[in-house]
Every structure is written in structure tokens, then in C-alpha cells.
Amino acid sequence: MATRVVGDSATTVVRKRSFSESYIGEWLTTTDHKQIGIMYIFIGFFFFLVGGMEALLIRSQLAVPNGKVLSPEEYNQVFTMHGTTMIFLFVIPFLAGLGNYFVPLMIGARDMAFPRLNAFALWVVLFGGLFIQSSFLIGQAPNGGWFMYMPLNLTSQGVPNAAEVVNGLNADFWYLGTTLLGVSSIGGSLNFVVTIFKLRAPGMSINRIPLFSWMVLVQAFLLLFSLPSVTTASVLALLDRHLGTHFYQYTTGGDPLLWQHLFWSFGHPEVYILILPAFGIISEVLPVFSRKPIFGYTFIAWSGVAIGFLSFTVWAHHMFAVGLPPIAQAFFATSTTLIAVPTAVKIFNWLATVYGGKLNLKTSMLFALGFVAMFLIGGLNGVALAVVPFDYQITDTYFVVSHIHYVLFGGTALALFAGIFYWFPKMSGKLLNERLGQWQFWLMMIGLNLAFFPMHILGLLGMPRRVYTYPANLGWNELNLIATVGAFMIGIAVVVFLYNVVVTLKNGQKAGNDPWDAFTLEWDTTSPPRKYNFLHIPVVRSRRPFYDKKNPEIADWKTVTH
């Protein structure tokens, strides 16, 4: 990794404008990690809106008992697609987008290691997403729940005694679509791993890369090791459905639980795939707006790695009710409890970063603080789910729905907004409006607590998840109505955000290169960065290279060794 300088070469040839120079062609044929990152973010956000609409449909249906907004069949398609869209088509592409844009900038690289593979992964996400969503056009969207349990999703040939299984294309869309998205994620992850291992700027040792890059690295490894499992499971499902094999068919000696083991040995690492880069974003935002370095860099980084390893040992905590031997349940309860330790360490380190700082409460910081506050709830009710006897009562109820939304909305989504408010000036050169940002933040905070907190109680009161309706006499009415109100508040907050983006792009305040007085390399270049990122590849001597450059007399490398 030699330090490079752009050499000059001047050639002028008169020629026809090629396709890749037209505006559309420029984007369609690009291999620039920043353009790809922006497209990823657009795709992710587009599917966030789609998934959000689906969520509002769900909440409208459940607002009152015996709701008539959707038919049962429609409802089952919508809730399945809500989960699938949000997990596979919103969070993963969005995180991949931020990772694509900022990891090379943060580690001082000019691009990702495999630019064409990068572009390929992007297009596969887009087409794969459209492929899955297109199932709505023929009225056969996947309807088996986002984890597509067997044997419900076999054809009736495989489950001869069932009154109803999925004979249509519904399940095929899901299995094929997620396989496609898996192809994309494998490509993207390989790219991140190689980029972070091989393209770091001189002096940027692995224990100096910004924590966001660390978490993206761990996430990439998790994807690489967990995706084969779900891909295998999906292919076996397709074989069962169409070629009459017997992997999941109990009548011929197959086992429905095989699907659950294969799916969850992907599905639990998946949860950390969705949250680890969010941890990374928070670990970038909190120090900058607290005017302090991150507290316990090593512990945050290695607790991320610990979470990564442990996440492969906890899958059966989704399956406590399937009748595993008690000793196996005790094992999975223990590993699930253990994984809370590195998570707790992270939260304490964030608190210590904020404590004693000089907090600049910009919108980005508000979202980051909101993340810590909300993710804590998601962590605590997650531990509750590891308490096996209690889990027997609340698994598959709205308590679980509440947990996943505190983790993925109160956690990941808030972190994504923190990241967007933080990095938007770098990507566009304009500062998002703070006033609107604060409106959005408070609407979201209140909305999400209204929407998701009552779900805890609904779960305790015995409301199962995935029901398209509920009778009026079971005491669930008021709480469901509150949840619906909260969901619509979140919807309004998203509209505020969209308005903010449009207004800002049109006539927002100019950001300059370093609006937040930040610490890391992505701010040490123009906003937006040029195609080659840095004119000279910077030389790094600490974890906060840009801070060192701006404060040479109190630079980190003079005061600490790391």
C-alpha cells in the first residue's frame, strides 16, 4: 500500500460521447463506490417506504377488533412482505449503501476492492427486490410469514392431509428472491472483507480503522458464513415443492424442523447483521458530537467480534417451544444470555463516551442518543425472551413483535437516521434542516413508543402474532388502537424526513467539507468527494487521523499509543 499521488496525463481525443457519459448511462455503468452507495441508499429507502406502507396496512387492519381493511389472505401476504421487505430490502441495502460510501473513505482507499462486483451486487439487490415485490401484481405474494416455516409452505402433494398449504407461486417468489439477494450479499460482503483487509491507507492498522468499518467487517463475515445456510434451506424447499424430494415432508420421512434449524442458523446471525453496522454508526456519531474520542475502542470492536461468534450459537432460542430436550434448551438459554454481555459492554462504553463530553445536540446526535435509550429496551426484553419458561408463554406473541421492533426500529432505523443526518452533508454538500430534523426525531420517538410499547402488554395479555383479526372481548382493543396511532405518527415522521431531503437538496445550507468538526478521514476531503476520494492518500498515525491533522499540537498519536 504505497502512498499514491495522482499523476498528470493530458490527452485530448475528439470522439463520440459514449453511453457511459450520458447522465443515465453514467449511473447505470458506474463502478464508483460512492455512486453505488447512493443508489443502494435510494433502493433501501424506496423499500423502506414500501415496507412502511405494508406496516400501516397491518396497523389499520388491527386498529379495531374484526377489522375489515384487508381480507385474511391479503393480510397474510402483507405481513409476510412487511417483514421480508424491511429485513432483506430495506436494512441490508441501506447498510450496504452507507458501508459502500464510507468504508473506503474512512480507511483512506480510493474505491472498493472489486468495483464491478460491487455494481453487480447493487443491481441484483434492485432486481431481486422488484422480483419479490412483483408477486403482488399477480396477487400471489409470499404468505407464509417472513420465516416461511415448513410444511405450511410445501405444496399439497407434500402435505396430503392439510386443508390448506401454499400451492401457488407465493412461496417460490420468496425462496428464489432471497436466494438472489443472498448472491448480492455474498458479493458485497466479499468486497468489504477484501477492501478492509487490503486497501487501508498507510498507517491505518486494523486497530485504527473507524468502528463503523469494524462493524461492517464483522457483518460481512456474518453474512458470508450464515447465508449458505438459508440458501441451502431455500433450494431444498424448491426441490421439495417442484421435484418431489422429501427434505421437509414428514409423511415420507423428512422433517419440518430441518427448515427451522437451517433457517434460524441463518436467521439469528441475521439479526446481528442488521444491528452491528448500526452499532458502528452510533460509535461514529456519539464521539463527534460529544467532542471526545470513543470510550474503549478495543472493547467496542472486540465485543462486536464476540457477538459475531456467539450469534452462531444461539439459533434455537427461536425454537424453545418445538420440544427440544431440556438440556439443549438450557444450552441455548446460556448462549443467549451470554450474548447480552458484549452488548451491555457496548452500551456502557457509549454512555462513558457521552459522559463528561460537550454534547452538541444536533439531530444526528439526538437520533444516536435515542438509539441508546431504545436499544436498551430491546436488549432487556431480549433477555426476557431468553428466560425459557417465560419464553414458553410469550414466544409467538406480540411481545416478540415488540422486541424485534425495539431492536430493529428503535435500534437500527434510528441509527440509520443518525447516520443519514451525520453523513448527508458529505454525500450532498448540503446540511439537512435541523428544525425539521428535530420534528422528525420527536415524532418518531413518541410514535415508536406508542406503537411498540403496548405490544409488550398485548403479548402478556395473550395476543398471538400474525393474526389478521381478533375478537372484541379479549381486552386487546385499546392497546391495539394506541399502537395504530403510534404507527401513523412514525409515518408522519417519515414524510417530514422526505420533505426535509427535498427542501435541502433544492436550497439547503451549504455544508463545507467538515461541518461537524469530525475525526475521521471521510471528512478530510471535499463534499461530495471527488471520484478518486483523496488527492493524496493520507498517512494515518492514530484512530482519529483528521483530528490529529486539525490539532497537531495535541494529536492523539502524541498522547496515546494505539
Partner 1 sequence: MRTKNSTSQQESVEQRVSDAVAEEQEAPRAETTEDSGAPLETDALETAEEVQSDTPTRKKRIRRKITPEEEKTISPGHSVWPLVLALALIVLFLGIILHPIVLVIGIIMLVGSAVGWIIERH
Partner 2 sequence: MRTPVFKRKKSRWLTLSAGLLLSSLLLAACGENSPSTLNTYGPVANSESFVFWVILIIAAIVFVVVEAILVYSVFRFRERPGMPNPRQIHGNLLIEGIWTAIPMVILFIVLFFTIRGLFEVAPSAQPQGGQTVEVEAVGHQWWWEFYYKGYKITTADTMVVPANATIHVDLYSNNVIHSFWVPALTGKTDVIPGHDNTRWFKADESAIGKTFVGICAEYCGTQHANMRFNVQVTNNNDFMTWVTAQQQAAAVPAAGSLAEQGKKIFEGQCVSCHGIVGVNLKADNTNQYGYSDPMAVCDAGACLHGPNLTHFGSRRLIAGGVLEWNPKDCDPNDPNLLQKCALAQWLHDPGAVKPGNEMSQSIQSGTLNDDQIRQLVAYLESLK
Catalytic residues: 82, 111, 146, 184-185, 268, 270, 272, 283, 317-318, 343, 346, 465
Which of 103, 445, 493, 511 binds partner 2 (CB under 8 A)? It is 445
**Residue 202 makes contact with partner 1 by CB under 8 A:** yes
Contact call for residues 111 and 181 (beta carbons, < 8 A): no
The footprint of partner 1 on residues 23-52 (CB under 8 A) is 25-26, 28-32
State the nearest-atom distance from the C-beta of 374 to partner 1, in Å: 35
Residue 425 binds which of partner 2, partner 1, none (CB < 5-8 A, kind-dependent): none
- Specify the residue, 424 or 453, whose C-beta has the smaller distance to partner 2: 453
Distance between CA 431 and CA 518 in Å, rounded?
15
Distance between CA 159 and CA 153 in Å, rounded?
9
Question: Taken in order 9, 12, 17, 18, is the CA torsion positive or negative?
Answer: negative
Contact call for residues 317 and 333 (beta carbons, < 8 A): yes
C-alpha cell at 253: 420421512
State the nearest-atom distance from the C-beta of 131 to partner 1, in Å: 6
**Residue 197 makes contact with partner 2 by CB under 8 A:** no
Contact call for residues 300 and 294 (beta carbons, < 8 A): yes
Helices (H), 244-296: 256-290
State the nearest-atom distance from the C-beta of 470 to partner 1, in Å: 35
The footprint of partner 2 on residues 473-502 (CB under 8 A) is 473-476, 479
Residue 5 binds which of partner 2, partner 1, none (CB < 5-8 A, kind-dependent): partner 1
The DSSP secondary-structure symbol of 410 reads I
* Residue 275 Rama label (left phi>0; alpha psi -120 to 50; beta): alpha
Which of 216, 275, 394, 420 binds partner 2 (CB under 8 A)? It is 394
State the nearest-atom distance from the C-beta of 295 to partner 1, in Å: 25
Cα 93 to its chain centre, rounded Å, is 8
Which of 305, 383, 481, 492 binds partner 2 (CB under 8 A)? It is 383
Which of 252, 532, 554, 562 binds partner 1 (CB under 8 A)? It is 532
Contact call for residues 422 and 491 (beta carbons, < 8 A): no
Q: How many residues bind partner 2 (CB under 8 A)?
A: 111
Longest CA–CA separation in the chain, Å: 80
Which of 117, 194, 224, 376 binds partner 1 (CB under 8 A)? It is 117
Residue 169 binds which of partner 1, partner 2, none (CB < 5-8 A, kind-dependent): partner 1
Contact residues for 462 (Cβ-Cβ < 8 A; gap 6+): 397, 474
State the nearest-atom distance from the C-beta of 26 to partner 2, in Å: 40
Ramachandran angles phi, psi of 50, nearest 5°:
-60, -50
Quick note: the x/- pattern for partner 1 over 505-524, rule CB under 8 A, is -----x-xxx---------x
Helical (H) or strand (E) element with 486: helix 477-507
Ramachandran angles phi, psi of 12, nearest 5°:
-125, 120
Number of C-beta neighbours around residue 504 at 10 A:
20
- Specify the residue, 270 or 524, whose C-beta has the smaller distance to partner 1: 524
Distance between CA 378 and CA 381 in Å, rounded?
5
Q: How many residues bind partner 1 (CB under 8 A)?
A: 69
Which of 169, 239, 258, 467 binds partner 1 (CB under 8 A)? It is 169
Residue 393 binds which of partner 1, partner 2, none (CB < 5-8 A, kind-dependent): partner 2
Which of 42, 131, 309, 499 binds partner 1 (CB under 8 A)? It is 131
C-alpha cell at 94: 441501506
The footprint of partner 2 on residues 351-370 (CB under 8 A) is 351-352, 354-361, 369
Name the one range near partner 2 by CB under 8 A: 21-29, 192-200, 212-220, 253-261: 253-261
Name the one range near partner 1 by CB under 8 A: 22-30, 261-269, 434-442, 456-464: 22-30
Please choose, from the candidates 353, 360, 221, 376, the residue with its C-alpha nearest in 3D space to the C-alpha of residue 300: 353
- Specify the residue, 69 or 238, whose C-beta has the smaller distance to partner 1: 238
C-alpha cell at 185: 450479499
Ramachandran angles phi, psi of 431, nearest 5°:
-90, 130
Distance between CA 449 and CA 377 in Å, rounded?
10
Residues near partner 1 (CB under 8 A) are 1-13, 15, 18-21, 25-26, 28-32, 110-111, 115-120, 122-124, 126-128, 131, 169, 172-173, 176-177, 179-180, 183, 202-203, 510, 512-514, 524-527, 530-532, 534-539, 541, 549
